[in-house]
Amino acid sequence: MKLSKNFSLSELTKSQTATRKGISNEPSTEHVENLIHLAESVLQPVRDHFGKPVMISSGYRSPELCEAIGSSSKSQHAKGEAADFEIPGVDNMQPVSYTHLRAHETREDRV
């Protein structure tokens, strides 16, 4: 299932830890909706802005998977609202700065 032009559901739910430990990492319908929003409003704009593939290292994590890796079962990852990523050849602070700027501009547009 495509979440946006360049991001898929499988890409945002893959987990070697879940596979190794036999933990289900299937998101609910609400979580998939959150992942679509994440892909469309954060990940795809970052991909488009930098013009390079965005490598997802962690996206959705089921509450059980969160606990298995020592994270909170109430984390944004468990809600489908967060992803860890990097862009090869781009300093990690550049996408961070870009997403903060976009969030600030979006807030100003609403005022």
Return the percentage of the chain with pLDDT > 90, whole number. 87
Residue 31, both tokens:
């979580």
Reported as a pLDDT band with limits 50, 70 and 90, residue 107 is: low
Query: What phi, psi does 60 have (nearest 5°)?
Result: -65, 135
Q: How far apart are CA 90 and CA 47, in angstroms?
A: 12
Residue 83, both tokens:
């992803």
Tens digit of each residue's pLDDT (9 = 90 or more) over 69-100 = 999 999 999 999 999 999 999 999 999 999 88
Predicted local distance difference test score (pLDDT) of residue 106: 61
Predicted local distance difference test score (pLDDT) of residue 78: 98
Reported as a pLDDT band with limits 50, 70 and 90, residue 7 is: very high
Predicted local distance difference test score (pLDDT) of residue 101: 86
Q: How far apart are CA 13 and CA 63, in angstroms?
A: 13
pTM equals 0.90
Q: How far apart are CA 39 and CA 35, in angstroms?
A: 6
Q: How far apart are CA 82 and CA 34, in angstroms?
A: 9
